[in-house]
């Protein structure tokens, strides 16, 4: 054919290597950025001419999305639309989560749910409607939430005697139930969780990040002592949330305590996980609250202690939402779309049959991979062009793609593409399942390492609030900043994302001396 040399130049692992072993150069080839030199150019001339260096790798670079560097919010909207994650609902601020977006959420849910149960919590389901009066029982709570409440005043064709609130969160209804369920100290701790939708009226919605209705998980617990409640608050923060977010989703986050300004309405102290997105803005991924005895007092959650005295319980609440999907997109996504960490990906390996005659071989591969415990999908939609399908899986962020075509079958090989690097390799068909499964761990840790490196490069130590300028995290002494400095920063669009001890640990509820404030612009 005469195209061999051109191909070899563009693809270090050309499918017809001179040694004829079909092995290409899997272990030794340097990380060649195959599309770096031809980004965004016009399509290559018809193949068969040993002309330009780029061959088909050139079109591989053609971006379907607005580049991140050009307009990050637009890039985000493009990814959500083109990867088929979600779209706007008919009513303002609502969201339709599409199959791929929901599959990602279901994976997050599964990982969280397993850990929530493993730490002794039981799932329950509480009502969507809450009597308005419940909200009013806790002064801080109503005050914090009333601007974003959706209130039902009419139903069944009549005006309601007492309006109903569509739950913005469930501390109040659950507090009411707890007051009946908790009688003696033997009923404690009471460890509950629910998966639910909640409604908070939003003026500026953004798919996944801020919508009027959203899906989340909310945990609610009651304890006999402050210390137990505090231990629960931090257990969830570290061993449920951070474990999933870091080890499954591959996102490093800062764990710390919120300032009084940013505290949850009704909490004594709020702990948070804050992650840095690729545009240098911070995103709050989850919160865990020590509610002290505020809700116990408001709802009469009391118990008889071992000495027969009546005590108020100590409660906590904690939640993460489908916003995590938004965080995932913005933490890992690149100009070609989503990049899913394998531990999370609904599909870890997609096997793409270039033409019909490759389908049987693909089915065998899918069988081997599935047998090895890899979440695998076959793409045998040969009525659609190869390119369209390749782009689609790239947008969707599937970590590994195996392409099998007629030429591969002849050579006993296939093409492997890893999404984290967008590098193509030709490997033998024999053992390909095992080889691609082995890659998953490397991709997982690579994405986390990349995000960590990006964050540390974007974190700056400063001495004064005035020095806070631009993107990324700014560290400065909380003693020096104070509540006044916090207010000044707010006017310039910056917030104190969280307070952390000098040694990186999470501060105690009342601890205030020697803390570091992490400041950033946030979503």
Q: Per rule CB under 7 A, is residue 319 in the interface with RNA?
A: yes
Q: Per rule CB under 7 A, is residue 286 in the interface with RNA?
A: yes
Q: Per rule CB under 7 A, is residue 151 in the interface with RNA?
A: no
> Which C-beta is closer to RNA: that of 332 or that of 424?
424
Dist. CA 521–CA 523, nearest whole Å: 7
Q: Per rule CB under 7 A, is residue 195 in the interface with RNA?
A: no
Q: Per rule CB under 7 A, is residue 387 in the interface with RNA?
A: yes
At residue 398, the 3 state secondary structure works out as coil
Minimum distance, C-beta of residue 98 to RNA, in the bound complex (Å): 14
State the Rg of the chain over Cα.
27
Asked if 214 contacts 201 with a C-beta cutoff of 8 angstroms, the reply is no
Would you tell me how many other CB atoms lie within 10 Å of the CB of residue 45?
10
Exposed e or buried b for every residue in 164-191, given b needs 16+ CB within 10 A? bbbbbbbbbbbbbbbbeebeebeebbbb
Q: Per rule CB under 7 A, is residue 70 in the interface with RNA?
A: no
Minimum distance, C-beta of residue 392 to RNA, in the bound complex (Å): 5
Distances (CA, A) of 497 to 182, 196, 216, 365, 489: 35, 26, 21, 47, 12
DSSP at 236: I
Q: Per rule CB under 7 A, is residue 202 in the interface with RNA?
A: yes
Minimum distance, C-beta of residue 287 to RNA, in the bound complex (Å): 5
Dist. CA 246–CA 54, nearest whole Å: 37
Q: Which of 39, 185, 407, 475 is in the footprint of RNA by CB under 7 A?
A: 407
> Taking CB under 7 A as the criterion, which residues in 131-150 touch RNA?
144, 147-148
Would you tell me how many other CB atoms lie within 10 Å of the CB of residue 306?
9
> Taking CB under 7 A as the criterion, which residues in 453-492 touch RNA?
490
Minimum distance, C-beta of residue 143 to RNA, in the bound complex (Å): 10
Q: What residue has token string 């493993």?
A: 118
> Taking CB under 7 A as the criterion, which residues in 235-254 touch RNA?
none
Which residues are CB-neighbours of 282 under 8 A, at least 6 positions away? 274, 275, 276, 473, 497, 518, 520, 521, 522, 523
Give the orientation angle of helix 432-457 with respect to helix 323-332, to 10 degrees: 90
> Which C-beta is closer to RNA: that of 224 or that of 498?
498
Minimum distance, C-beta of residue 354 to RNA, in the bound complex (Å): 5
Region of 24-32, 108-116, 227-235, 318-326 interacting with RNA (CB under 7 A): 318-326
> Taking CB under 7 A as the criterion, which residues in 75-104 touch RNA?
82, 88, 91-92
Region of 49-57, 103-111, 342-350, 429-437 interacting with RNA (CB under 7 A): 49-57
Q: Which of 200, 332, 339, 497 is in the footprint of RNA by CB under 7 A?
A: 200
Please name every residue paired with 190 in a beta bridge, in sequence order, or none if there are none.
Answer: 222
Q: Which of 233, 415, 436, 444 is in the footprint of RNA by CB under 7 A?
A: 415
Using CB under 7 A as the binding criterion, the count of chain residues that bind RNA stands at: 71
N residues, the chain:
523
Q: Which of 62, 238, 421, 501 is in the footprint of RNA by CB under 7 A?
A: 62
Q: Which of 166, 254, 313, 320 is in the footprint of RNA by CB under 7 A?
A: 320
Q: Per rule CB under 7 A, is residue 60 in the interface with RNA?
A: yes
> Which C-beta is closer to RNA: that of 221 or that of 270?
270
């Amino acid at each position: 054919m005469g195209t061999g040399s051109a191909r070899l130049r563009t693809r270090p692992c050309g499918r017809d290597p001179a040694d004829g072993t079909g092995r290409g150069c899997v272990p030794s080839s340097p990380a060649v950025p195959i599309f770096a030199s031809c980004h965004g150019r016009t399509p290559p001339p018809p193949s068969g001419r040993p002309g330009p260096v780029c061959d088909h790798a050139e079109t591989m670079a053609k971006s379907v999305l607005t580049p991140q560097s050009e307009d990050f919010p637009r890039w985000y909207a493009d990814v959500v639309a083109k990867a088929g994650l979600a779209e706007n609902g008919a009513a303002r601020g609502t969201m339709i989560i599409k199959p791929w977006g929901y599959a990602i959420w279901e994976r997050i849910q599964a990982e969280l749910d397993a850990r929530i149960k493993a730490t002794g919590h039981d799932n329950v389901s509480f009502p969507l409607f809450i009597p308005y009066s419940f909200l009013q029982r806790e002064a801080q709570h109503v005050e914090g939430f009333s601007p974003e409440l959706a209130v039902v005043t009419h139903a069944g064709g009549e005006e309601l005697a007492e309006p109903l609130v569509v739950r913005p969160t469930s501390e109040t209804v659950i507090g009411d139930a707890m007051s009946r369920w908790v009688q003696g100290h033997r009923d404690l701790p009471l460890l509950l969780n629910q998966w639910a939708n909640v409604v908070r009226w939003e003026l500026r919605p953004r798919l996944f990040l801020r919508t009027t209705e959203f899906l989340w998980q909310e945990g609610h617990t009651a304890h006999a002592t402050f210390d137990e409640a505090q231990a629960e608050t931090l257990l969830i923060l570290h061993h449920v949330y951070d474990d999933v977010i870091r080890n499954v989703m591959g996102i490093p986050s800062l764990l710390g305590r919120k300032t009084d300004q940013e505290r949850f309405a009704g909490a004594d102290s709020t702990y948070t996980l804050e992650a840095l997105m690729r545009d240098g803005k911070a995103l709050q991924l989850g919160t865990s609250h020590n509610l002290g005895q505020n809700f116990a007092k408001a709802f009469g959650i009391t118990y008889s202690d071992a000495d027969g005295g009546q005590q108020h319980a100590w409660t906590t609440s904690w939640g993460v939402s489908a916003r995590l999907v938004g965080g995932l997109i913005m933490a890992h996504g690149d100009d070609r779309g989503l990049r899913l960490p394998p531990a999370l990906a609904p599909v870890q390996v997609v096997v793409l049959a270039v033409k019909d005659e490759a389908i049987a071989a693909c089915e065998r591969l899918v069988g081997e991979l599935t047998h090895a415990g890899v979440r695998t999908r076959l793409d045998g939609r040969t009525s659609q062009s190869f390119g369209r399908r390749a782009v689609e899986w790239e947008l969707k962020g599937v970590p590994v793609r195996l392409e099998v075509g007629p030429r591969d079958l002849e050579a006993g090989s296939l093409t492997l593409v890893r999404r984290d690097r967008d590098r193509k390799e030709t490997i033998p068909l024999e053992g390909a399942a095992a080889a691609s499964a082995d890659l998953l761990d490397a991709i997982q840790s690579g994405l986390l390492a990349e995000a960590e490196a990006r964050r540390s490069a974007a974190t700056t130590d400063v001495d004064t609030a005035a020095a806070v300028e631009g993107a990324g995290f700014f560290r400065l002494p909380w003693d020096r900043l104070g509540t006044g400095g916090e207010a000044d920063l707010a006017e310039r669009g910056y917030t104190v994302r969280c307070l952390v001890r000098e040694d990186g640990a999470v501060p105690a509820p009342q601890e205030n001396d020697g803390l570091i404030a992490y400041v950033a612009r946030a979503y």
